[in-house]
Structure 1
Amino acid sequence: MEQLAQNNNKSWFDTHKNEYLAAKDDYEALVTEVLAGMATLDPAFKDVDPKKSIMRIYRDVRFSKDKSPYKTNLGAGFGMGGGKNTGAGYYLHIEPGKSFAGGGLWQPEGPALKAIRQEIDYNFEEFGKIVNDKKFKKMFAQIDGDKLVKAPQGYSDDNPAIEYLRLKSFTVGAPLPDADLTKKGAAKKIVDAFATMKPFVDFLNKGVV
C-alpha cells in the first residue's frame, strides 16, 4: 500500500494489480480470523461473509478535491448483529504506520445524533462507567469527534455530561503497530480491542436502534 500511495493512478494500479490482490487475500484471512473471534462476543458474527465486510479499494471522488482513484489502506466494517448498518459498529483499518482497530459511530444523522445525546443524558452514570473503565481508558486515549463550541440545543453548560453531549461523532481507536500485525497473535489483539469497546458500541446502539 505504500507504493500505491506514491503511485495513485490507474496505470500503475493495473500493472501491479496482482500485488494488491495478494495483499487483499492476506487481509481477508485476517478478517476471517477476527470474525471468528468476534463470534465469541456476539453469535451473529458467526455467519458473516468476510468478503462482504471488506471495503472497496476504489474511492468515491465525486465530491472530493482529491481525485486519487484508490484508497491507500485496507478497511473492513462490522455492524451491529454482524452486518453493515447505520448504527454503531467496528472498523479495522490496515495502512503502513497508521493501522488501528476502531469503533463507534461517525457523524450520525441529526435524529440519530439527538437520540444518542438523549441516551447519554438519561443514562450518564452507565455511560460514565463504560468510558472510565480502566482498560477502556488505557486502550483508547479519548473519544474522537468534532465538538460543538456551545452546548447543543436543549442542554445547559453545567450538564454533568456536557463534554460528551457536545460531540458530533462518537468513535474510539486503538493503534496497531506494523510489527504486531505480522505476528501470529494479530487477530487476537484486534478482537481484544473490539471486546473492550463493545460496551461503548452497545450503548450507542441503544440510542439509535
Structure 2
Amino acid sequence: MAKVKDPLDLQVAFRFLRGLKRNNDRTWFHAHREAWDEHIRHGWEDMVTMLMLAGAQVDDRLAHADPRACLFRIANDTRFHKQRDPYKPWLSAWMSPGGKNGAFAGYYIHLAPGATHFSAGIYVPVKPALHALRSAFAEDGKDARAFDRILAARVMQPYLPLDTEPLRVTPRGFPKQHRRLPLIRARNYLVRRDVPDRELLDRGA
C-alpha cells in the first residue's frame, strides 16, 4: 500500500519554529512570512483536519466541528502583556465540538521541536462541569467505578497523572478523606503523551 503523504512537512515546520524561537520578533517573522504562508500555515490546518476526520471514527462529536475554529493563532496577544513574546514557537490546536474556546472535553496537539505532546480530556472545565465531575467521583456511583478501572489499566499508566497541579486542599463541600481524593482535588482531567522528535520525523521521512 502506498504511503499517504503528510499534509505538513515536519522538517520544514520544525526548522521554522526553531528559527522563530531564536528570533522571536516581528522583523524575523515578516522576513519569513512567505515560508509560513506557503509551507506551514495551510499544511498545519490540513493536518488538524485530517486528525479530526480520523478522530471522528471513535468520537463522532468531531465530525461536526470546524477545524479552523480549533486552531490557536501563532501570534500572542500582547495588548495587556507587554513582556510576552510576540509569537508562540509552536503549533497547537484544541480539537473539540466547541473549538479552542469551547467548554467541551477534547484533544490537544502541541507541535514544537523537543516538546511535542498530545493530550485528551477536559482542561480548566467551567465551574458547573468541574463540580459535576467532582461530585460523581465523590458519590462512588457506576460511572466513577468504571473510571477507576480505566485509570488502573496498565496501558494507561504512562499517560498519568490526570492533573499535575491539583488543589492542595479539598474543595469546600467535599469529604476530606476519600479514596478518590486526587480526582476530587484535580482541576484538569487530561491524559498526555510526549512524542520525541525522532518518532515524528521518522514517520514523516
TM-score class, shorter: 0.7 to 0.9
CA 1:18–1:41 in 2, change beyond 3 Å: closer, same or farther? Answer: same
Structure 2, gaps ≥5 residues long: 1-16
TM-score normalised to structure 1 length: 0.77
Q: Helix, strand or coil: the match of 2:125?
A: coil
Q: Match of 1:128?
A: 148
| TM alignment of 1:120-199, pairs within 5 A | 120-122=137-139, 123=141, 124-138=144-158, 140-184=159-203
SS of equivalent to 1:159: coil
Deviation at 1:115, TM superposition (A): 1.7
Contact residue 45 and residue 82 of structure 1 kept, 8 A: no
- CA 1:132–1:73 in 2, change beyond 3 Å: closer, same or farther? same
Asked if structure 1 preserves the Cα contact closer than 8 Å seen for 2:163 and 2:190, the reply is yes
Alignment equivalent of 2:40, drawn from 15, 18, 23: 23
Contact 1:106 1:169 in 2 (8 A): yes
CA RMSD across the alignment:
2.3
Alpha carbons of structure 1 residues 63 and 121: separation in structure 2 relative to 1, 3 Å: farther
2:165, 2:79 → 1: CA distance?
24
| TM superposition shift of 1:9 | 0.9
AA in 2 matched with 1:125:
R
Give the 3-state SS of the residue equivalent to 2:121 in structure 1. strand
Residue by residue, what CA displacement relative to the aligned partner does 1:5-64 show, whole Å, maximum 9, x if unpaired? 111111111001122221223323322321221121123423544333221111123443
Whole-Å Cα distance in 1 between the matches of residues 77 and 65 of structure 2?
25
CA apart distance, 1:83? 4.3
Larger Rg: 2
Q: After TM superposition, give the deviation of residue 109 of structure 1 in Å.
A: 3.2
Q: How many residues end up aligned between the 2 structures?
A: 184
8 A Cα contact 1:143 1:171, kept in partner = yes
- Does the CA-based 8 Å contact 1:104-1:172 persist in structure 2? yes
Measured in 2, the distance between the counterparts of 1:24 and 1:10 equals 17
SS of the residue aligned with 1:118?
helix
Match of 1:86 in 2: 103
**Separation in 2 of the partners of 1:47 and 1:107?**
23
Q: SS where residue 182 of structure 1 aligns?
A: helix
Letter in 2 for 1:160: R
Q: Residue 50 in 1 paired to residue 70 in 2?
A: no
Specify the alignment match of 1:59 in structure 2: 76
Q: Would the alpha carbon gap of residues 175 and 67 (structure 1) be closer, same or farther in structure 2, given more than 3 Å must change?
A: same
State the identity %.
Answer: 29
Greater RCO structure (CA 8 Å; 6+ sep): 1
Which residue matches 2:49?
32
Match of 1:71 in 2: 88
**Equivalent residues of 2:138, 2:174 under 8 A apart:** no
Tell me what 1:97 maps to: 114
State the distance in 2 between where 1:42 and 1:135 align: 20
Work out the CA distance in 2 between the residues paired with 1:87 and 1:165.
19
Contact 1:44 1:82 in 2 (8 A): no
How far 1:103 moved relative to its partner?
A: 2.0
**Cα pair 2:110 2:117 within 8 Å, conserved:** yes
TM-score, normalisation: structure 2: 0.79
Q: Determine the C-alpha separation between the residues in 1 that align with 2:125 and 2:56.
A: 26
SS of residue in 1 equivalent to 2:191: strand
